[in-house]
Structure 1
Amino acid sequence: MATGRWAGSTRDDCQASDAEGSGAEDAPGTTEAVWARIVERIRQEYGEDVYRSWFKGVAVVEADEFTVHLSVPTQFLRMWLRNNYGTRLLALWRAERPSVQRVDIRVRGVATVPACEKAPAEPRRAAARDALKVVEPSGEVRPPRVELPAGEAGGLESAPLDPRFRFDSFATGDSNKIAHDTAFAVAAAAASGETLFNPLFIHGGVGRGKTHLLHAIAWRTKELGPGRRVLHLSAEQFVFRFVSALRADSAIDFKDRLRQVDLLLIDDLQFLQGKATHREFGHTMNALIEACRQVVIVADRSPAELEGFDERTRSRLAGGLVAGVGQQEFVLRRRILEARAAALGRQGQRVDLPDEVLEYVAKNVSSNGRELEGAINRLAAHQCYAGVPVTVELAEKVIRDLVSQHERAPVKIEDIQRVVSSHYQLSRQDLVSSRRNRAIVLPRQVAMYLAKTMTPRSLPEIGRRFGNRDHTTVLHAIRKIEKLLGSDGNLARDVETLKRRVEDGEA
């Protein structure tokens, strides 16, 4: 329930303004409209990945003159937002409503006392202080220790490995040969206590086999070196266990045990969020590398494009070997289909697909390996369980949705920024920053030119995506690149290459 100064800025007012023919879903001053503007600002500042990971589940409950109440689905998300983004959320609300003094985050479904029934402030504070005290037999008062679940002390249990993801089941081609060969060599070295290409950083788009390689390294290291200590975690699991160790007052034990592993494998590093977590990850990686212990990291983008990491950490990530996994070519897609059919055969499902069916699937399902696997599973099910012979005509019907998904998706400005920053070895922050040295200005202008020619976005919208620049700056960049394309052959080739990479969905 909104009260005080903002009592008039409610959904009722919004509905009233609609009735008057304003045509706006939310009037500019309503809480909903303010939150929508703040969400857009968060997306611009932190990127779409951070928004989806931490802010998508946030909702506005109510707002009065001094306090904004937000709700989230879990206690962990509430703690994470308060610790890592609480100050920024308050600043964004104050920019919209200067009188706001506090942003309160609560968990949805947890009962709260209505404002009119709340106890006086000082008794509430005293009760809260008492609840946070633990009295020892000696009479000493100390903060409570939050215990981790049984078996999670230190938080170093490795995440499960998929038994299917081994080197002998990984199909190789031109787009992934370097990543495969270096991963194979690193596993052998790690098993013997050596390090090679430390850290090994593998990056590429969705469904290109990065996680498969990560699991394969772990399996081979364990097979060749049974006594080696291997720890495999996703970035999300690293965050959760680190935060849990902090809450359990066991952070030092967590750090010590983390530094004792022989092989650390981290999946989806782009989802690692929070300054404290970034800092701890950087310290851990440095300590392991300096102690000659192997680190292998997987992400959907190159080290230069990772957001939130300082230059030192990005430099360290790029200091070993960065191996990209490109979009799978036709020959590789065909090998993936054959390998999957063979795997199903070993599991007791006899799959006999004609060459023309494999050709059709390989040509028409080209977005990623997971969809290829899904296609072969559907065809195998029709053959094994329905007893229907698989023909090209049947394949067209069964995988029609996968083929339609392959139709080119709309290009996003974020995709262009990612490809351009990777091509010119810059970070996305550089492209949207106010820095004006030539090494940054030209790539920024190229990205703006591509944004205008490859997306339907307006000049003002493009300007907002590039650090809130004026539309005239974008227009100047477009005209400059158009002029240079006629006289600079190298730039023209670069622009054509970038267009192809954006269209192919490459990083």
Structure 2
Amino acid sequence: MPPAPSAARSNVLSVIEGARNDASSGWRRVADRLRAEFGEDVFTSWFERIALEQVANGVAHLSVPTRFLKSWIQSHYADRITALVSEECQDVRAIAIGVRVAAPKLATNGGDVVVAPAIEHVEQRSPTASPFLFPARPDAARLAGSPLDRRLTFDSFLVGRSNQLAFAAARQIADAKPGDPVTYNPLVVHSAVGLGKTHLLQATAHAIEASGRRVTYLTAEKFMFDFVASLKAQTALSFKEKLRAIDLLVIDDLQFLQGKTVQQEFGHTLNALLDGRQQVIIAADRPPSELEGVDERLRSRLAGGLTLEMGSIDEELRAKILAVRVAAAKAIHPKFDVPAEVIAYVAKIVTANGRDLDGAVNRLLAHNTLTHAPITIEMAETALRDLVRQVEPKRVKVEDIQRIVARHYQVSRADVLSSRRTQTVVRPRQVAMYLAKQLTLRSLPEIGRRFGGRDHTTVLHAVRKIDLLVKTDHGLAAEVDLLKRMLLE
């Protein structure tokens, strides 16, 4: 006897609901695998806003909130998403990506899958005989570097105490003639955000390119995408050959280089370029020894070159940057006049990085053009209130001093605490003791105990010696000043 209509309808709804739950849980597994494979930063940037709309006829329909995100995912990640969806969602053979008009809840966050009211455009991807599920783009092996910003040149790079060494090294590389010995290879430049790493790298790339030499500038993510694309297109050999046929390779944001295979290939490429005496310049947010996500052998090879830090921008350099930014704004807005005392005031109170300085100029410009009020220190106080970081003075620990001083002088903390008397260890030890006395409330005997159980007279001798030297040795004075700023940031 056939079931009653209501019972049949209930059975159909139950099947539909079960399929929807299976798809939802499958997509959550896909999201977890994407997060584990690419890391939290990449996941948040590109995957977190993908929603699974429905699964129909073997196709998983996905949606994203913008056309740009859709285009980027299709260009760089669609292959991998298709592979994972086909593994985790039963009977799914392809994906379709569309742009949603209203954003649904995110299935990736564990919520229910909600069908969006409309999808503007859908492009379907289906599997092929390729182990990566669908054909790669025909230009996958093309070695196209990341775009260079024509404004980021040596002429527009402002030099101060915090970056003069890195600038000099980059300038020497750019000015070298074909056949000249390669002195600093690889050159690794590291700093916090907004201190000019990218500007310096792109300026070097511009100069090398202008001399007729072959240069490729890549972000770490672009290297990853291009290498993976070449694997899928089975043109990896051509990709490697093109990469190794250049005169200068510039890699920015190395800390984002992820994946064992990608890091190994980058290591092979780095070795080939260095062995061929081709120049490599790399930027990261920390020195090679502290790039925890990077393969140890790769870190070791990077440490064999010259590693330089671009420190915090000092007040004098901040004033230079502000003057240049104000002049550029005045060229567009002739009535934008910023008195010298206001520039000096802003340079004193906005201390974080160059981007905050750009923001300060933009705010002064907005207040001036929208209210027609003259730019004074009082107006700057109001306009820049939230850019000024009101923080309590940092409490510095002796252990932090030992660690940062050791890293700066390229010795180990164990060396600083040891009884070794070589000059390469004695000077860092004395500087660290001097800074411990300057920046902490510890007594001389306590500082001595924290430096391997030394007598307080040893600490006193170190403090007096460094105090005398900084008054006559300008190089040491600059080093001590830099270390103080690093410790107090």
Asked whether the two chains share a fold, i.e. TM above 0.5, the reply is yes
Pairwise CA RMSD of aligned residues? 5.1
* Conserved 8 A contact 1:203-1:324: yes
Looking at structure 2, the residues matched to 105 and 275 of structure 1 have their Cα atoms a distance apart, in angstroms, of: 27
Looking at structure 2, the residues matched to 101 and 424 of structure 1 have their Cα atoms a distance apart, in angstroms, of: 55
Looking at structure 1, the residues matched to 407 and 163 of structure 2 have their Cα atoms a distance apart, in angstroms, of: 21
Distance 1:486 1:195, change over 3 A: closer
User: Where does the alignment leave 5 or more consecutive residues of structure 1 unmatched?
Assistant: 11-30, 63-68, 91-99, 112-127, 135-142, 412-416, 427-437, 443-483
Query: Kindly, what percent of the aligned residue pairs are identical?
Result: 42
Q: Offset of 1:193 from its aligned partner?
A: 6.0
Q: Normalising by structure 2, what TM-score?
A: 0.61
Q: Normalising by structure 1, what TM-score?
A: 0.59
Q: Which amino acid aligns with 2:390?
A: E
Distance 1:498 1:387, change over 3 A: closer
Q: Does residue 146 in structure 1 map to residue 129 in structure 2?
A: no
**What are the within-5 Å matches in structure 2 for residues 36-185 of structure 1?**
49=41, 52=44, 56-57=48-49, 74-75=73-74, 76-77=76-77, 79-80=79-80, 132-133=128-129, 145-148=135-138, 152=139, 154-185=141-172
Q: Which amino acid aligns with 2:451?
A: N
**What are the within-5 Å matches in structure 2 for residues 22-41 of structure 1?**
none
Q: Offset of 1:314 from its aligned partner?
A: 0.5
Q: Which amino acid aligns with 1:154?
A: A
User: Where does the alignment leave 5 or more consecutive residues of structure 2 unmatched?
Assistant: 1-13, 55-59, 65-72, 101-124, 418-444, 454-458, 460-481
Distance 1:57 1:161, change over 3 A: same
Who is 1:200 aligned against? 187
Q: Does residue 280 in structure 1 map to residue 265 in structure 2?
A: yes
Q: Which amino acid aligns with 1:178?
A: L
Larger Rg: 2
Looking at structure 1, the residues matched to 44 and 322 of structure 2 have their Cα atoms a distance apart, in angstroms, of: 32
Looking at structure 2, the residues matched to 105 and 328 of structure 1 have their Cα atoms a distance apart, in angstroms, of: 51
Looking at structure 2, the residues matched to 256 and 195 of structure 1 have their Cα atoms a distance apart, in angstroms, of: 21
Distance 1:183 1:82, change over 3 A: farther
User: SS of the counterpart of 1:309?
Assistant: coil
Pairing partner for 1:338 from 303, 320, 323: 323
Q: Does residue 188 in structure 1 map to residue 175 in structure 2?
A: yes
* Conserved 8 A contact 2:158-2:317: yes
Distance 1:501 1:271, change over 3 A: same
Distance 1:285 1:72, change over 3 A: farther
Looking at structure 1, the residues matched to 343 and 185 of structure 2 have their Cα atoms a distance apart, in angstroms, of: 39
Q: Once the two structures are superposed, what CA deviation does each residue of 1:186-242 show, in whole Å capped at 9, x if it has no partner?
A: 11126666533011111100100001101110122223x1x2011111111111111
Who is 1:376 aligned against? 361
Looking at structure 2, the residues matched to 422 and 103 of structure 1 have their Cα atoms a distance apart, in angstroms, of: 53
Q: Once the two structures are superposed, what CA deviation does each residue of 1:140-164 show, in whole Å capped at 9, x if it has no partner?
A: xxx975333xxx4533123222222
User: SS of the counterpart of 1:322?
Assistant: strand
Looking at structure 2, the residues matched to 55 and 144 of structure 1 have their Cα atoms a distance apart, in angstroms, of: 20
User: SS of the counterpart of 1:389?
Assistant: coil
Q: Offset of 1:391 from its aligned partner?
A: 1.0
Who is 2:281 aligned against? 296
State the number of aligned residues. Answer: 369
Q: Which amino acid aligns with 1:201?
A: V
Distance 1:289 1:110, change over 3 A: same
Looking at structure 2, the residues matched to 324 and 104 of structure 1 have their Cα atoms a distance apart, in angstroms, of: 50
Distance 1:439 1:491, change over 3 A: closer
Q: Does residue 362 in structure 1 map to residue 347 in structure 2?
A: yes
Q: Does residue 233 in structure 1 map to residue 218 in structure 2?
A: yes
